Structure 1
Amino acid sequence: MTTPLSVLDLSPIPSGGSAADALRNTLDLARRADELGYHRYWLAEHHLAAGVAGSAPAVLIGLVAAATSRIRVGSGAVQLGHQTPLALVEQFGLIEALHPGRVDLGLGRSGHRGPSSEKTPGTPREPVTRAGRVVDGLLIPPPFDPTRLIASPRLAFQASLLWQPGGHAPAFADQVDDILAFLHGEYRAPEGWTVHAVPGEGADVEVWILGSSGGESARVAGERGLPFAANYHVSPATVLEAVAGYREAFKPSAALAEPYVIVSADVLVAPDDDTAAELAEPYGLWVRDIRTGAGAPPYPTTGQARAHTWSDEERALVQDRIDTRFVGTPERVAERLDVLRRVTGADELLVTTIAHGHAERVRSYELLAAAWHELDARTEGTAA
């Protein structure tokens, strides 16, 4: 098998805690992930969320890189619509200059104005009423309908705070091309002038594209021969579509001779199933607030979650995320992750874990690393 495990950290703020607590927890978890042998440590970008401290990924990535020694560090993902290619190359080039060979620049389409074009032209997206299904042991739930969320006036206002007045992000593909050009020292102004990103030009920064469907992000990654990250933990209904779209579009490049896919999963591991289930109880309430447009709240306690009275509409809103979260003992979760790896053909798995207590979150990663190593050894022994 020999499939690496990596970490996606949202820097969650627990109920009753602070952003400073969350950031200290991120540094502590990163050090432990480094010791445990995880391959990458990626930081997400979120804004105006009371329960997430990761608003400046480049800054936090630099701190994580300084606190660790081996593990690759990067973004999962920066919101490209709020940044310029030059600024990103300079930021990540600066980090790479101090921590050579360890930096990943993960790019996402978030922040682009206007309706999403995350769809391949001529290929209609499956309707949100489609029933869920199981594919070779992997649950593919009905798609989440984001119509109400996208139409939220609150979200539109919050997004406007991240744009310069009158500013307009270029096409996603053009921005990716500019990033690659700056890194390779090939950027040319329309007038023919050469422009050099310092630091950044020539940096050994690994560029990734993250996407949730088989649309533009998957196509851009494939056509440029870049590695691709597909979101099972955010959009489980479309993970197979995303991976297939990327592989279909793939063209070999100087970076990659063959497609390389990382697939994310939301995971919570505990010594026994009862403990894991108890620790997982607040998750649904947290996802509910995100999907209603309120933003990620401070992560609730189990008591706060149990005090909430659920309506049928609320349960339906979060059911796909709850059903596709891998919760349980180390052995059970490792086996389910192996199914995800097999069905998607993932070359690597990206694990994100959230719990109210930091110790429980760290313990989850510790237990999973050991179980995954044992499963790997067992699989290798069987193959031999």
Structure 2
Amino acid sequence: MAHSHTVPLSILDLAPVVEGGNATDAFKNTRDLAQHAERWGYQRYWLAEHHNMQGIASAATSVLIGYVAEGTNTIRVGSGGIMLPNHAPLMIAEQFGTLASMYPGRIDLGLGRAPGSDQSTARALRRGLNSNNGQDFPELLGELRSFLNPSIEEGVPAVRAFPGEGLDIPIWLLGSSGFSAQLAGQLGLPFAFASHFAPDYLMQALQLYRSSFRPSAALEQPHVMIGVNILAADTDEEARFLATSQEQQFLNLIRGQTSKLKPPVANMDELWNEQEKVVVRSKFSFGAAGSKETVRSRIADIIEKTGADELMITGSAYDHQARLRSFELIAEIMKEG
């Protein structure tokens, strides 16, 4: 089984807005982290589409991808993901065609089928009010792929995407359930699983993806990337302290609130009840918060258990320098193997 140094590491960034900060600060920090990540040897830097969440600044995902790509030179930049049901496939083909024309050979298009938001937000995004929970995703995906590659005949006759058509933009399917896993397998596309928030379905989805995989022009054999929530620090205690910012954010989510990223706290037991604690901790069951040694053995476990071809690390810390330090330590682990 692969060791940590043979598996490329990438970063998923939600452009966190911290309490006392704003989107401008978040974007500066995002670009700064991407520039460091490039020097440290990370493979990709992906940004995620979320709406109606004050603590996440990456709503206009393709605009932010352009900002990050412009500030870096070699790292691949992409979406993790664009929620396709929110958009006309033609617009996404044009947006990513534009990005891929500006930054050739560096743009990835990761696609999800969840709306990435609540129903009021879906309505504000002008989606059909009966938008069938992503059941039309295969159709939207076929349309998008045929705009980029007209030999896939699932598109709209007489409509072409300029820029977009004929560009080699790798498409990834993202999932937190079996639906996209199976579809990615059938279409022979790479698959990224969101185990940073849906760890329970991971093994099932991987099995489904690999067993339904059919080779394609894009990919000869299955290729899996796994999202993992990791915070590294110089000691286990410090990492666990830093991780309380994310725990507070998840806690607010399960209470139906959204918030900016809060400063870490000494004792989460003052904030949550036992039941909430179990739910929040379960969200992090496929992650790690700890020293280099702790994180190293956790990464090795995850790779061994899943056979992942790549890991995509996500981790938010209230303090930007602490967040940089976390990704630097993870990069050291990757290099040391």
- TM-based fold match above 0.5: yes
Give 3-state SS (helix, strand or coil) of 1:238's partner: helix
Q: Counterpart of 2:197? A: 234
* Alpha-carbon distance in 2 for matches of 1:163, 1:292: 26
Is contact 1:187–1:194 with CA below 8 Å preserved after alignment?
Answer: no
Q: Counterpart of 2:232? A: 269
Comparing 236-245 with 279-288, greater Cα deviation is found at: 279-288
- Kindly tell me: are residues 227 and 364 of structure 1, through their superposed partners in 2, closer, same or farther at Cα, counting changes over 3 Å? same
Q: Counterpart of 2:220? A: 257
Letter in 2 for 1:349: L
Pick aligned residue for 1:217 from 149, 157, 180: 180
CA shift, 1:312, in A, is 2.2
Give 3-state SS (helix, strand or coil) of 1:49's partner: coil
| RMSD over equivalenced CA pairs, Å | 2.1
Q: Counterpart of 1:318? A: 280
- In the alignment, does 2:11 pair up with 1:7? yes
- Kindly tell me: are residues 10 and 304 of structure 1, through their superposed partners in 2, closer, same or farther at Cα, counting changes over 3 Å? farther
Gaps of 5+ in 1: 113-153, 376-384
Give 3-state SS (helix, strand or coil) of 1:42's partner: strand
Letter in 2 for 1:200: G
Letter in 1 for 2:255: T
CA shift, 1:177, in A, is 1.1
Q: Counterpart of 2:50? A: 46
* Alpha-carbon distance in 2 for matches of 1:267, 1:27: 20
- Kindly tell me: are residues 365 and 167 of structure 1, through their superposed partners in 2, closer, same or farther at Cα, counting changes over 3 Å? same
CA shift, 1:57, in A, is 0.7
* Alpha-carbon distance in 1 for matches of 2:266, 2:121: 27
Alignment of 1:1-384 (within 5 A): 1=3, 2-111=6-115, 155-164=118-127, 168=131, 171-186=136-151, 193-214=157-178, 216-295=179-258, 297-303=259-265, 308-375=270-337
- Kindly tell me: are residues 305 and 93 of structure 1, through their superposed partners in 2, closer, same or farther at Cα, counting changes over 3 Å? farther
Is contact 1:187–1:196 with CA below 8 Å preserved after alignment?
Answer: no
Is contact 2:244–2:265 with CA below 8 Å preserved after alignment?
Answer: no
* Alpha-carbon distance in 1 for matches of 2:207, 2:88: 29
Letter in 1 for 2:120: F
Larger Rg: 1
Letter in 1 for 2:138: A
Matched positions, count: 331
* Alpha-carbon distance in 2 for matches of 1:307, 1:230: 30
Question: What TM-score do you get using the length of structure 2 for normalisation?
Answer: 0.93
Question: What TM-score do you get using the length of structure 1 for normalisation?
Answer: 0.82
- Kindly tell me: are residues 268 and 156 of structure 1, through their superposed partners in 2, closer, same or farther at Cα, counting changes over 3 Å? same
> How many percent of aligned residue pairs carry the same amino acid?
40
- Kindly tell me: are residues 178 and 193 of structure 1, through their superposed partners in 2, closer, same or farther at Cα, counting changes over 3 Å? closer
Is contact 2:12–2:314 with CA below 8 Å preserved after alignment?
Answer: yes
- Kindly tell me: are residues 70 and 257 of structure 1, through their superposed partners in 2, closer, same or farther at Cα, counting changes over 3 Å? same
